[in-house]
Amino acid sequence: MCGIVGYVGNRSIVKTLLDGLKRLEYRGYDSAGLALLEADKIQVVKTIGKVKNLENRILNEYGEIEIAGPSAGIAHTRWATHGAPSERNAHPHLDSSGRFAIVHNGIIENYLELKSHLQGKGRVFVSETDSEVLAHLIAECYEGDLLSATAAALKKVHGTYGIAVIAVTDPGTIVVARHGSPIVIGVGNGETLIASDVSAIAAYTQRVIYLNDGDLAKITAETIDIRNIENIPVSREIAHIDWNPEAAEKSGYDHFMLKEICEQPEAVANAIRGRMDKGSATAILAGLNMTTREMAQVNRIVIAACGTSLHAGMVAQYFFEELASIPVDVEQAAEFRYRNPIIEPNSLVIPISQSGETADTLAAVREAANKGAIVAALCNVVGSTIARESGRGIYLHAGPEIGVASTKAFTCQVSVLLMMALLFGRNRRLSREDGLKIIDDVNSIPGLISQVLERKEAIEKIAKKYAGAKDFFYIGRGCLYPVALEGALKLKEISYIHAEGYHAAELKHGPIALLEAGVPVVALANNIPGKDKMIGNIQECHARQSPVIATATDGDNEIAGIADDVIWIPECSKFAAVVPTVVALQLLAYYIAKERGCEIDQPRNLAKSVTVE
């Protein structure tokens, strides 16, 4: 959840660190800081609030940003887990001598025990954080080699970490280590960068090394020495990241979220490109690395995910069960990891994660692997931990998703999952004709999204009408039921309005007691199976004076006649309808949040990647 950046090289270190932190702002944070390694001391500057505050503090203290002299620097944006947001709890943290500085992402579970031991040895702590113990511990373990001292210190630690360390003893050097929180090394020409997320360094290099759990590395401007915690050298390949830094900029949109909503036709086109074969009426998903026989032996699918990715998994249950007749369980990843799930050897476990770093989903991967399941991940970030530890799976190719509220990842996940269901269906009883129909459905998705995007002004008008509401309900049936959950999540995430998603039939089992004038209901009444029941649900809501915003298939005057407002969705199949409908709800949430003057890209309390449990 925290952001880490480090730099060694000939550029302005402060400017490079601040630039990196700004590219990590979307991860969510409450304070920021940096440490500069000078000849005989470490300078630390940290502030609460935005990175801009840190930049202003540096200007006030140094008079400029282009500070000459430091041989290395590390920086951090913090999302508080231990200790309230404050300057003294912000990272970097120093040891008592001020000769060692660290930044940390993760949780040190035995920090109180370590802190007590270190205080007993005279070490003075200044913060309430768990992370500070690392600075004192490394200083305690130092016997002349910074990487060895870091390894020795980390052997005493229980918990998760991605850390970067600098020390007066080692000019021009940064030591990094990872266990449970990502660290990536950017390989430059005469410069080396480190970060918790590739988006912080993509502007400087497209060549990166992803550390594995248990890896440490000592980096200088010219060298990268990677070892395991036993100080044995390990080799890690240099990956080439497939997106340019401009893609991670706003490209003229007011918010990353709107940019990412509007680039969904292209993102989905990238997700499906080259992955379907009309000749065989099936999908080509080589990343699954499964023979047709292995696929035929799968007798159960378990999907584990969180948040929006969980909703995509819920949609996929309808796809797999109808197209491939495979029973599917969809599990909240945290629940899956702790409830000792029943996994048989022929279970296929599909973790879904845009970031590929969500702690609970990563733990679900490990739980499934320990029980002998085939694990195939759906991730967007190439080389992410979940992708690498799953060993097989499918990348979304959606491009960087910077807005905390996930949009294009969801539509790409649903599109890929529909192709997976096609593949498994054609591996079983799905006919060639039906397979071709699914291929047409998938190919139609980018165009359906474009049609909805052309209607954003009408959606904005509806959004402005209801932006003052304090509560919303979203209801749907069939594979639009998870879309109702997703629409409610989008609204609450970015507008801070209380919104609940329900199966439409569930309303009368209690929630309907909350309906009254001023409590709008978004009813997903597209012309697909279940629409007739939705008519009854809309009337139930009206009987309680709730205004109804309905999604309806173009030309459906029956729905238009009973809803207060209609968001029109192009005619399409029941499976394809998931995507244009969710895009409409993304826009509805966006325009309501914009009308309310909300932050949108970095909503309060939220982070883009929940890398701690």
* Binding residues for ligand AGP (CB under 6 A): 306-309, 353-355, 358, 361, 404-406, 493, 609-610
Least spacing, CB of residue 613 vs ligand AGP, in Å: 12
Nearer to ligand AGP, 55 or 263 (CB): 263
Nearer Cβ to ligand AGP (17/589) = 589
Q: Which two tokens stand for residue 65?
A: 């940003």
How far apart CA 332 and CA 298 sit, in angstroms, is: 21
Least distance in Å: CB of 514 to ligand AGP? Answer: 24
Q: What does the block give as tokens for 547?
A: 């205004």
Tell me the two tokens of residue 583. 């895009």
Query: Among residues 206 and 358, whose Cβ is nearest to ligand AGP?
Result: 358
Give the tokens for residue 460.
Answer: 């904005």
Minimum CB separation of residue 215 from ligand AGP in Å reads 22
CB of 440 to ligand AGP, least distance (A): 28
- Under a CB-based contact definition with an 8 Å cutoff, are residues 343 and 301 in contact? no
Q: Which one from 259, 456, 490, 608 is the annotated catalytic residue?
A: 608
Other beta carbons less than 10 A from residue 562's beta carbon: 19
Q: What is the residue type of 98?
A: G
Rounded to a whole number of angstroms, the minimum distance from the CB of residue 610 to ligand AGP is 5
In terms of Cα–Cα distance, which of 571, 530, 540 is closest to 473?
540
Q: Which of 218, 206, 208 is nearest to 184 (CA)?
A: 208
Q: How far apart are CA 94 and CA 248, in angstroms?
A: 33
Task: Give the residue with the Cβ less far from ligand AGP, 43 or 309.
Answer: 309
CB closer to ligand AGP, 139 vs 352: 352
Q: How far apart are CA 372 and CA 476, in angstroms?
A: 36
User: What six digits make up the tokens of 456?
Assistant: 């954003």
Closest chain position to ligand AGP (CB) = 307
State yes or no: is 379 an active-site residue: no
Helix residue spans in 402-513 (DSSP H): 408-426, 432-453, 456-466, 481-495
Q: Which residue number, 60 or 605, has a Cβ lying nearer to ligand AGP?
A: 605
> Between 12 and 358, whose beta carbon lies closer to ligand AGP?
358
Q: Tokens 């159960």 — which residue?
A: 300
Query: For 436, phi and psi rounded to 5 degrees?
Result: -65, -35
Catalytic status, residue 608: yes
- Report the nearest approach of ligand AGP to the CB of residue 30 (Å): 17
Catalytic, out of 2, 141, 412, 541? 2
* Residue 201: half-sphere exposure toward Cβ, Cα within 13 Å: 30
Strand-pair partners of 42: 37
Residues, the chain: 613
Q: What does DSSP assign to residue 511?
A: G
* Residues taking part in catalysis: 2, 608
